[in-house]
Structure 1
């Protein structure tokens, strides 16, 4: 399995923003979420609709409290919607599943496991032989550049390295969609920029469909092909902004007039929300 996946990753061409796919990879349909308090019913999300196609990288930005984390938890199957539905490959999401990987801001690594042990944790629940599991671990250690740290424990790693392990652990289960909730929010500015470039390169290599929450507008513009801007009270997707930049990007692109213009457009949209 891992050998065929490795071959595909090296030979398939990356297809971005293919809106003509018959089926989206991820679909959110007429989704609403409310919580009942002692005084009234609090509407957190209202009429959320969007589609993600294979190999897309989409970021979501919005003010604190707009419902971004509630939305990602519903997509992950950790919370039920009040109404509406989430579909992955046309199948309705009824709870957590291996078709969706999740990466959080906090690294959520198991401190008693090595880097290799953390990466292989999910595969233990799958019917893989010892050889297949070993190959999978070796491959993803190489993908995230941590082969030399296979036997290290989380306490021996930097913040950026810990997040690489968390990303590798999520990808090792070969999810259809990778969900990321502010994965670089706890990192210093220099490490954060390095991790942005790392994630962009990793996405181009693996072709994984990614849906990511971030507070950082610059990060959203740098990483994604589309940006969803959410408003608050209740949370709604107010605008979708296409990121018209080359697919092959490095951090120097942040200094270009084209990048600055798109960033300004997203920020103005946030202010209007």
Structure 2
């Protein structure tokens, strides 16, 4: 099977005080069709920089990113992006926020209305179509951001710490929501997080990054049931996976 997304030998070097600063070094990873993959690592390891390169918002200093075998040259409709901050337009309604990107494409008004209605239903916000962002909770705002990204029907959905600004209870509910959404749409998802439990709970595979410079330290298969409940976090299998990730992040051998 060919990967939907492939990152090949990607490096990134910034200039700091006139000197080169290596942020990413020889990153290699892949995401297969319909797969959910997480990248986990400590703050400052280059996760967001890597995701920005994949999204086409930043150029790599070396290597390349491919989507369906095509080299990424910049932002494109084949990649949807969801950020930690909701990035909603406060002067637009929920429906107008979701339709914003669609209006920049050659779509009929009928198709735009149908897509907006469909994804409002998918994220459970049909009754809030005419509400404004200030009238929504944090979790609801992030659902709107996810619906806006999905409405463009991207090949890959990129998520940058999407639940990092939410309280613990809302975060867990959004994790369940996202898993249900993935099961329904089977969109290929690449999500970055520093929350180990979140990565294990959501992903089929996990890439663990080290820092200074950012490298892929380990790839882990998450051999847990596809249909997951929050009680899964209390099981021995889940706890063992968490132990392995922690040992990898600490740089310990024989995890």
Q: TM-score when scaled to structure 1?
A: 0.91
The residue matched to 1:244 in structure 2 has which SS? coil
Q: 2: distance between equivalents of 1:178 and 1:253?
A: 25
Q: In the alignment, does 2:83 pair up with 1:125?
A: no
Deviates most, 235-244 or 249-258: 249-258
Residue 153 of structure 1 pairs with residue 145 of structure 2: no
Superposition deviation, residue 37 in structure 1: 2.2
The equivalent of 1:209 in structure 2 is: 188
Matched, 1:41 2:20: yes
Q: Could you tell me how far apart the structure 2 residues matched to 1:32 and 1:253 are?
A: 36
Distance in structure 1 (CA, Å) of the matches to 2:87 and 2:66: 26
- Name the residue aligned to 1:104: 83
State yes or no: 1:196 paired with 2:168: no
Picking from 162, 165, 168, the partner of 2:144 is 165
For the residues of structure 1 that align with 2:16 and 2:231, how far apart are their CA atoms?
Answer: 48
Instruction: Give the number of aligned pairs.
Output: 252
Unaligned runs of 5+ in 1: 1-20
Q: Tell me how far apart the structure 2 counterparts of residues 237 and 110 of structure 1 sit (CA, whole Å).
A: 35
Matched with 1:77 is 56
1:220-264 per-residue CA deviation (whole Å, 9 max, x = no partner) reads 000000110000111000100100000011111111111111111
- What is residue 181 of structure 1 aligned with on the other side? 160
User: Does residue 136 of the first structure (1) align with residue 150 of the second (2)?
Assistant: no
Measured in 1, the distance between the counterparts of 2:7 and 2:93 equals 37
Q: Partners in 2 of 1:165 and 1:119 — Cα distance?
A: 7
- Is 1:68 the counterpart of 2:83? The answer is no
4+ aligned runs moved over 2 Å, structure 1: none
2:227, 2:17 → 1: CA distance? 51
Aligned-residue RMSD, C-alpha = 0.9
Distance of 2:18 and 2:92 partners within structure 1: 46
Give the gaps of 5 or more residues in structure 2.
Answer: none
